[in-house]
Structure 1
Amino acid sequence: RLLEKINEQFDDKLSLFQSKLFIICSTFKLALSQLMMIWLPSLSSKSLNDKETH
C-alpha cells in the first residue's frame, strides 16, 4: 500500500511536470514564431536592399 501511495505521488508529479513542460514548450514556440515574424521581414528587406546597392 505504501508503494502504491508513492507511485501515485510520482504519477501526480510526472503529470504536473509534463503539463508544465507543455506550457513552457508552447510559450517558447509562440515567442519563437513571433520573433520570426518580426525578424524575417527585416532580414529579407535588408538582403533586398543589399542586392539593389551592389
Structure 2
Amino acid sequence: MSRLEHPAAIRTGIDFASPLQCVINAASGSSDTQAKREMVEAALRVGGRRGDLLFCAAPPG
C-alpha cells in the first residue's frame, strides 16, 4: 500500500507528498542548532519525507 493510499491519509486529508514545515526554537536553552538540524533532517530521511526547516531565535536585548 502506498502512502497516498494509506487509510489515515484518506481520513485526515494528509498529503504525504507535501513537505513538512519544521520550526526549531534556537533559543530553547540548547546552543547546538546544527545538531537539532541534523536530527530533524535524519528523521525526515528515515520517513521518506521532505521538509522546510525554519529557525527562530529570541529577539535581541
TM-score category by the smaller chain?
0.3 to 0.5
Higher strand share: 2
Relative contact order: is structure 1 or structure 2 higher (C-alpha 8 Å, sep ≥ 6)? 2
TM-score when normalising by structure 1: 0.32
TM-score when normalising by structure 2: 0.29
Which of the pair has more CA radius of gyration?
1
